[in-house]
Amino acid sequence: MRPMLTVAALGLLAGAAAAETRLHVLHINDFHSRLEPVNRFASTCDAAADAAGECFGGAARLAARVAALRAELAERGDPVLLLDAGDQYQGSLLYTVWKGAAEAGIMQAIGFDAMTLGNHEFDDGPEGLAVLLDRVSFPVLAGNVDVSAVPLLAGRVADRVVLERGGLRVGIVSALTPDTAEIASPGPQVRFADPATSLAEDVAALAAEGVGIILALTHLGLPHDLAVAAAVPGIDAIIGGHSHTWLSASDPGRAGAYPTWADGPGGALVPVVQAGAHGRYLGHLVLTFDDAGNLLHAAGDTIPLDAAVAPDPEIAARVAELAAPVEALRAEVVGEASATIDGSRELCRSAECPMGNLVAGAMLERVKRQGIEVALMNGGGLRASIDAGPITMGEVLTVLPFQNTLATFRVTGATLRAALENGVSQVEEGAGRFPQVAGLRFTWDPAAPPGARIRAIEVETGGVWAPLDEARLYGVVSNDFVRRGGDGYAMFREAADAYDYGPGLEQVVVDHIAAAGGRIAPLTDGRIARAE
């Protein structure tokens, strides 16, 4: 445990008689509708794999671990809070079917104490958020979001709240990424303020009420949380989400330390935590305060929710009941193919393929209004063809089984060239990195050595094809796996304006089919050519 470096805390540490109180904060973030257990790719696990101990998370494991910790800590007399840092919505077919009702019901059953909104809670507009608000009794927060002009939401999303546990009064302030206005669908009447400014106002209001312990529950992303910690005085700890960052005090595979310490105003150190995503971990932050509410220590870790955690049988039964309609969804007809759309491994990992054009085209069409010009899909992410005739949701999910999400970012033309070189570098091995594209066309030479195979690249801008400008920034859409460096695309890891948590690719394709009138045809147009 690391002490807070404030004058008050140092003085208390020197006094042997100073009393200490521990507050335990259990937390999750970016659950993304993973009510059923998931595999290591965060895709829904089948019953056989789960029985074999190969799965993680799921609401039933989360419920069991939370209940066990609550019971253990109650015996010690330590107060406990269970918090959610946003994005319960979007990510599995359970969300597609129930549109938030399933997630809300399970949260209520587990007994969360408070939640901040995530951007995905606005994916289906104010009406979609109201589904959650109608079904939970705990406070839902977003201090920098003004919903007062939306009658359906007005007065239902709090700026801040004070919770009393074990004799402690704990104030919670909150903020949601302002990018929600562009990456979700809150509607024009929902207003977003600067997170740091809003948090500072809410912290000051709680302090004026005599609240001595203040936690920030945020959906901003770790870098923004660290900036908030540095800018806003009076915050004792930040429990965050949005960037899906897995922090750990014990596992070397972590993305950072748990807690991560930030330099706060006045020489204070502020612990910042996050617990990954998709319910694979439960965060457990232990905060030690003196009687005046000064933070003395912070420690804890993220707890794996793996096969060692026996699922809660009641919650497991609820989830199984909720999942039953998913089978009907798989059989739902979402369109019709005029001819077979080839998504075979052999073709899509070595050349332009109709399935690659369909998926990349759907991705680009979804985000063009955001200034995105180029789509790049790894051929290995395409797992099947679609036969002529009716197209079912099950077939789309077979083509795109990984529950990847849309990722947007900006890179230079030089980085795009490097990405394409990576994409064609292992064609001989049938590697999944082969790039299927839209808004871009290129020529490559399979006889040249890897790293020097790309011969020409053109990008379509405003209906005009022009040679790639290596110094210019281009808006790109891919999937979250590729954007984070998967399949050798390490050059995308440091991309500007990266956002990895858009809608699922399968839903993007289904929406694209619907927008085309429900009938699609296989397409190839020479956008990927081999040099002669």
- Domain with residue 209: its CATH number is 3.60.21.10
> Rounded CA gap, 66 and 68, in Å?
5
Asked whether the beta carbons of 193 and 227 are under 8 A apart, the reply is: no
d(CA 520, CA 122): 30
Read off the pLDDT of residues 129-181 as tens digits, 9 standing for 90 and up: 999 999 999 999 999 999 999 999 999 999 999 999 988 999 999 999 998 88
Of 325, 346, 379, the one marking the end of a domain is: 325
CA distance 244 to 55: 19
Same domain, 342 and 308: no
Determine the pLDDT at residue 5: 32
Q: Are residues 376 and 396 in the same domain?
A: yes
The predicted pLDDT at position 180 comes to: 87
The pLDDT tens digits for 213-228 are 999 999 999 999 999 9
Q: How many CB atoms lie within 10 A of CB 7?
A: 9
- Mean pLDDT per 10-residue section of the chain, whose length is 532 residues: 33 47 97 91 82 95 98 96 96 88 98 96 95 98 98 98 94 95 87 98 98 97 96 98 94 96 94 96 97 94 98 97 88 95 92 98 96 96 90 89 90 98 93 95 97 98 94 97 91 95 94 96 97 87
Last residue of a domain, one of 273, 294, 325: 325
Looking up tokens 């891919």 gives 478
Answer whether residue 355 is part of any domain: yes
Looking at the structure, tell me whether residues 255 and 358 fall in a common domain. Answer: no
Describe the crossing of helices 313-330 and 101-110 by its angle, rounded to 10 degrees: 170
The answer to whether residue 172 is domain-embedded is: yes
Residue 330 φ/ψ, nearest 5 degrees: -60, -30
447 belongs to a structural domain: yes
Let me know whether 394 and 437 are in one domain. Answer: yes
Range of the domain at 287: 7-325
- Residue 4, pLDDT score: 38
Helix, strand, coil percentages, rounded to 5, for the chain: 35, 30, 40
Residue 272 lies in a domain: yes
Are 207 and 356 found together in one domain? no
Indicate the DSSP class of residue 204: H
Same domain, 499 and 388: yes
* Beta strands, E only, 79-165: 80-84, 114-116, 140-141, 145-146, 160-165
Does residue 291 fall inside a structural domain? Answer: yes
Cis status, amide bond into 435, omega within 30 of 0: no
Domain count, the chain: 2
Q: Under a CB-based contact definition with an 8 Å cutoff, are residues 491 and 470 in contact?
A: no
The 10 Å Cβ neighbour count of residue 336 is 15
The pLDDT value recorded for residue 18 is 53
- E-strand spans in 362-431? 374-378, 389-392, 406-412
Residues 109 and 153 in one domain: yes
**CATH number, domain with residue 503:** 3.90.780.10
Q: Buried (b) or exposed (e) across 100-119, using 16+ Cβ within 10 A?
A: bbbbbbbbeebebbbbbbbb
**Same-domain check for residues 70 and 206:** yes
- Cα 199 from Cα 196, distance rounded (Å): 5
Q: Is residue 441 part of a domain?
A: yes
State the pairing for strand pair 374-378/160-165.
Answer: unpaired
pLDDT attached to residue 11 = 33
In a domain, 1, yes or no: no
One domain for residues 12 and 130: yes
- Cα separation of 62 and 327, whole Å? 24
d(Cα 356, Cα 348) in Å, to the nearest integer? Answer: 7
The domain boundary residue, chosen from 325, 357, 392: 325
In whole angstroms, what separates CA 327 from the centre of its chain? 25
Tell me the residue length of the chain. 532
- Name the token pair of 66: 């939370």
d(CA 118, CA 242): 7
Residues 262 and 393 in one domain: no
The verdict on 153 and 54 lying in the same domain is: yes
Please indicate, yes or no, whether residues 163 and 267 belong to a single structural domain of this protein.
yes
Can you give the pTM of this predicted structure?
A: 0.78
Rounded to an integer, what distance in angstroms lies between the CA atom of residue 213 and that of residue 193?
24
Q: Is residue 2 part of a domain?
A: no
CB atoms within 10 A of CB 327: 10
Specify the pLDDT at position 328. 84
d(CA 241, CA 260): 14
Tell me how far apart the alpha carbons of residues 208 and 257 are, in angstroms, rounded to a whole number.
33
